[in-house]
Amino acid sequence: MFRKHFFLTIILVALISSALTVGLICFVLGVNSKTALDLARFFVALRFIEGHYVQEVERGKLIDGAIGGMVGSLGDPHSVYLAPQIYSALRAETSGSFGGIGVYMGFKNGGVQIMSVIPDGPGQRAGLQTNDEILAVDGTPVTEISPGEVALRIRGEVGTNVEILIRREGIEDKTYNLTREIIKTKTVAGKMLDDKLGYMKISNFSENTGEEFKTTLAELERDGMKGLILDLRQNPGGVITSCVEVAREIVPAGTITSVIQRDGSKEVYTSDLSAAKFPIVVLLDENSASASELLSGALQDTKAAIVVGEKSYGKGSVQTLIPMAHNDGIKLTIAKYYTPLGRSIDGEGILPDVEIKQDAVPQHIYNLQTDDTTDAQLQTAEKLLRHQVDAGKILFDENFWSTPAETPAQ
């Protein structure tokens, strides 16, 4: 009987205390009764745990957990709560004092996969490969932390070490100890395949990609290029403004992409290029993501290009960083990208016009070898582009698919 009265008293005190706290907050903020009840539930749980959990707990830790739980309940791998230590690391990283291991990662179905490996970076020198699965970082399984925190734990101060556990098909799981470095890479490379066809590869979209693309494009045009194969395989995306810079060189006048928020507000990126200058075939694979999907979608929708390869990754959302009151923060998805015809990329990806599946191989930006007889995607792209160039056409209209007898079935 005493035990029953004891717990009833505890709950009553917690309710009264929470009601007073919530009442004051609601009065100040002017919230409605439903919100007040939800806040009351939270404060009852907080007070009860603080006062009666078997061990003393820090209130800050409980609040961090509550915020993390709210963000985690969204089920969005790109939205994450950044506790003070992680948030501080992110801020320090943007100051330029932090480095990485030279890989691009993708997050899907609760796993973390290496999408591409930067040439001559710590990861490549250690033997990391595209499609490796990251199981743990410094002993912490990736299933116990958010995707954003996985990336932030791998990055860190230049010269420090990070230990990652890798799973690769066909061999035993292996631990790699890597030293972080500042990663500086060239992102665009190109060459002529013959006297008419040019080939360009973009590894990712960094701050300098727009200028690199313009320079390489001008070189190919001076060499007489009449058609372009644009290789975006294993391109994980990057800086949206750099993607737009590239798009404005090859996407005809009009919308490149639209960024639409929940309330319907829209930001539109446009091109003022008077007309497409030459036909383009884009190469995509399942690791082509984000900005590479935006560029491909814009070219495909405007018929300035066709896409060959595989369905892309499907990452078409916008995140913003929201600072909180205790040196913590939230990285939150606030909008989605759409193609010129209104297609959503997020979770959908870009479907190729000609689907050709093949095993992913590292597409190193400095390796412009194009005579690989096993690269069916590249061979098909070259065949389709050569037909369009020989026909003297630039845009890929409906008639394109009916004329070349050798075109693979769609």
Q: Which two tokens stand for residue 159?
A: 């010269």
345 and 200 housed in the same domain: yes
381 and 269 housed in the same domain: yes
Q: Which of 179, 203, 224 is the last residue of a domain?
A: 179
146 and 241 housed in the same domain: no
Among the listed residues 116, 290, 300, 317, the single catalytic one is 290
Please count the structural domains in the chain: 2
Residue 133 reports pLDDT greater than 80 = yes
Residue 110 reports pLDDT greater than 90 = no
CA distances for 198 relative to 101, 195, 389, angstroms:
32, 8, 11
Q: Is residue 69 part of a domain?
A: no
Q: Is residue 260 part of a domain?
A: yes
Based on DSSP, count helices (H) and strands (E) in the chain, helices before strands.
Answer: 10, 19
Q: Where residue 163 falls among pLDDT bands split at 50, 70, 90?
A: very high
175 and 208 housed in the same domain: no
Residue 315 designated active-site:
yes
Higher pLDDT, residue 369 or 342: 342
Q: Which of 161, 179, 197 is the last residue of a domain?
A: 179
144 and 214 housed in the same domain: no
Among the listed residues 129, 258, 319, 379, the single catalytic one is 319
Percent of the chain with pLDDT over 70: 84
Q: Is residue 2 part of a domain?
A: no
To the nearest 10°, report the CA torsion of 216, 222, 228, 231: -20
Q: Which two tokens stand for residue 352?
A: 């190729």
Residue 113 designated active-site:
no
For 336-360, how does the pLDDT look when each residue is reduced to its tens digit (9 = 90+)? 999 999 999 999 999 999 999 987 6
Q: Which of 179, 205, 229 is the last residue of a domain?
A: 179
CATH code at 246? Answer: 3.90.226.10
Which residue is listed with tokens 């003022």?
272
Distance CA 402, CA 334 (A): 42
Average of per-residue pLDDT across 205-218: 93
Q: Is residue 135 part of a domain?
A: yes
Q: Which two tokens stand for residue 252?
A: 């005809």
Residue 116 reports pLDDT greater than 90 = no
**397: helix, strand or coil:** coil
For 370-392, how does the pLDDT look when each residue is reduced to its tens digit (9 = 90+)? 666 679 999 999 999 999 999 99
Residue 1 reports pLDDT greater than 60 = no
Residue among 228, 216, 217 nearest 279 (CA): 228
Residue 88 reports pLDDT greater than 50 = yes
CA distances for 183 relative to 122, 132, 160, angstroms:
9, 20, 14
Residue among 389, 373, 381, 386 nearest 408 (CA): 381
292 and 361 housed in the same domain: yes
Q: Is residue 50 part of a domain?
A: no
271 and 372 housed in the same domain: yes
CATH code at 144? Answer: 2.30.42.10
Residue 85 designated active-site:
no
Among the listed residues 315, 331, 377, 388, the single catalytic one is 315
The string over 273-293, giving b where at least 16 C-beta atoms fall within 10 Å of a residue's C-beta and e elsewhere, is beebbbbbbbbbbbbbbbbbb
Domain of 96 in residue numbering reads as 81-179
175 and 199 housed in the same domain: no
Distance CA 126, CA 123 (A): 5
pLDDT at 54: 94
pTM to 2 decimal places? 0.73
Q: Is residue 38 part of a domain?
A: no
Q: Is residue 37 part of a domain?
A: no
pLDDT at 147: 76
Residue 13 reports pLDDT greater than 70 = no
For 236-280, how does the pLDDT look when each residue is reduced to its tens digit (9 = 90+)? 888 899 999 999 999 999 999 999 999 999 999 999 999 999 999
Best-predicted range by mean pLDDT among 5-14, 92-101, 240-249? 240-249
Average of per-residue pLDDT across 175-195: 90
409 backbone φψ class: left, alpha, beta (φ>0; ψ -120 to 50):
beta
151 and 202 housed in the same domain: no
Q: Is residue 42 part of a domain?
A: no
Distance CA 100, CA 89 (A): 12
Cβ-based neighbours of 67, under 8 Å, separated by 6 or more? 81, 324, 328, 330
Q: Average pLDDT over the chain, rounded to whole? A: 86
Residue 17 reports pLDDT greater than 70 = no
